[in-house]
Amino acid sequence: MANTAQARKRVRQNIQHAERNKPFRSRAARTLREARAAIAAGSDDAPARVREAQSALDRAARRNIIHPNAAARSKSRLNRALKVAQAA
């Protein structure tokens, strides 16, 4: 347990920040999962799902919830998978 007043305050702040960031992280993860599933299933709405996932990743990166490079990497991999699926 935190021993100083400053450490106790940081614990409280970390809990508040985690609660505030949770919806953005969850939305990004959920849309990414749905986009990957749509690509794997060869669904017609896969491009729309990919756009939605990219938007969620960008929002999370803009708020520093995920690292901007991690968002860019996920978006790139998603686009590459979509392009391969559409070519096949």
Amino acid letter, residue 73? R
Tell me the domain boundaries of the chain.
Answer: 25-87
| Residue whose token pair is 């392009």 | 83
Quick check: 10 and 2 in contact, CB under 8 A? Answer: yes
Q: DSSP code of 64?
A: T
Tell me how far apart the alpha carbons of residues 45 and 74 are, in angstroms, rounded to a whole number.
Answer: 19
Indicate whether 1 pLDDT > 80: no
pTM (whole model) above 0.85: yes
Quick one: which of 54, 55, 64 has its CA closest to 20? 64
- pLDDT tens per residue, range 18-56: 999 999 999 999 999 999 999 999 999 999 999 999 999
Query: Most distant CA pair in the chain: distance in Å?
Result: 60
pLDDT value for 41: 95
